[in-house]
Amino acid sequence: MSVRRGKFITLEGGEGAGKSTVLSAVREQLVADGADVIITREPGGTPAGEAIRGVLLDPALHGAIAPETELLLMFAARAQHVRETIKPALAAGRWVLSDRFTDASYAYQGGGRAQPLERIAELERWAADDLQPDLTLLLDLPVGIGLARARGRGPADRIELEAQDFFERVRAAYRARAAAQPARFRVIDASQPLDAVLDQVRNAIGEFLQTQNDGAGS
Ligand code: T5A
């Protein structure tokens, strides 16, 4: 008898959007519904991916990584993540909750760094094995609010050292993807106080679970 495939849920958003903060609430809700959940992140999620993350976020390398190198390193970490962590978990019937996935490459490397979208799409096809999330929560908020939150939390990493217009392009690219794929994305107003953000997130997850449970018997 085959094991039912788990579901793949991703959280996306700009700097300081609150992804890490809402992750545990999402996990609790999924577990309460009976799901076996793993939490992971990008770049990272495997020993090799975490080592690549160290290079990508090292502030000492600010200005020393070409946009093409950055894009390839993001997908190098993702290629390992898909094969070593995500696909095996889904095949075993587990639910995977990832702090960022390929949408971040379209937003940061496509929007922020102006890398051609067709190159990102080609990498998505072969390096990420064309894996698509079942649901993506986009935590959207004005760039200034997110940066203030992120900077209040600790020293900036290499990407957080970018100028505000870079993050404006990232936000615009995320919103454009969400508008183009409304069946997969739920946009959360992350500028609200945490309780209000969590309410929106729980509603979105609740609706998704309802569709899954409705379809389970068919
Ligand atoms: N990247 C990643 C790419 O360029 N391309 C890619 O393909 C991928 C996968 C690392 C970086 O890599 C880039 C994007 C990133 O620059 P990351 O580790 O996810 O990715 O880094 P960040 O987005 O920088 O993670 P942050 O930790 O900054 O953001 P979070 O997780 O969204 O925010 P969080 O939860 O840590 O919250 C930040 C602060 O705000 C507070 C929290 O308490 C915390 O102090 N906060 C709130 N305060 C008020 N009201 C609320 N509603 C709040 N929610 C949270």
- Rounded Cα distance, 214 and 218, in Å: 8
Strand partners, 41: 99
Distance 43 CA to ligand 1 centre (A): 12
- Rounded Cα distance, 79 and 70, in Å: 14
Q: Is 186 in the pocket of ligand 1 (CB under 6 A)?
A: no
Token reading at 127: 């390096």
5 CB-contact burial (10 Å; exposed 0-12 / middle 13-18 / buried 19+): middle
Give the residue, by CA position, lying nearest to ligand 1 atom 43: 21
- Rounded Cα distance, 87 and 3, in Å: 13
What's the confidence (pLDDT) of residue 153? 87
Fold assignment, 8-217: Rossmann fold (3.40.50)
Q: Is 13 in the pocket of ligand 1 (CB under 6 A)?
A: yes
Angle between helix 67-81 and helix 117-126 axes, rounded to 10 deg: 20
- Rounded Cα distance, 86 and 212, in Å: 19
What's the confidence (pLDDT) of residue 216? 67
| Model pLDDT for residues 197-217, shown as the tens digit of each residue | 999 999 999 999 999 878 765
State pTM to two decimals: 0.96
| Model pLDDT for residues 155-186, shown as the tens digit of each residue | 999 999 999 999 999 999 999 999 999 999 99
Strands 135-140 and 185-189: parallel
Distance 194 CA to ligand 1 centre (A): 14
The full DSSP string for the chain is -PPPP--EEEEEESTTSSHHHHHHHHHHHHHHTT--EEEEESS-SSHHHHHHHHHHH-GGGTT-S-HHHHHHHHHHHHHHHIIIIIHHHHHTT-EEEEE--HHHIIIIIIIIT---HHHHHHHHHHTSTT---SEEEEEE--HHHHHHHHHHHSS--TGGGS-HHHHHHHHHHHHHHHHH-TTTEEEEETTS-HHHHHHHHHHHHHHHHHHHHHHHT-
| Model pLDDT for residues 2-27, shown as the tens digit of each residue | 456 799 999 999 999 999 999 999 99
| Model pLDDT for residues 115-162, shown as the tens digit of each residue | 999 999 999 999 999 999 999 999 999 999 999 999 888 899 999 999
Q: Is 18 in the pocket of ligand 1 (CB under 6 A)?
A: yes
Q: Is 149 in the pocket of ligand 1 (CB under 6 A)?
A: yes
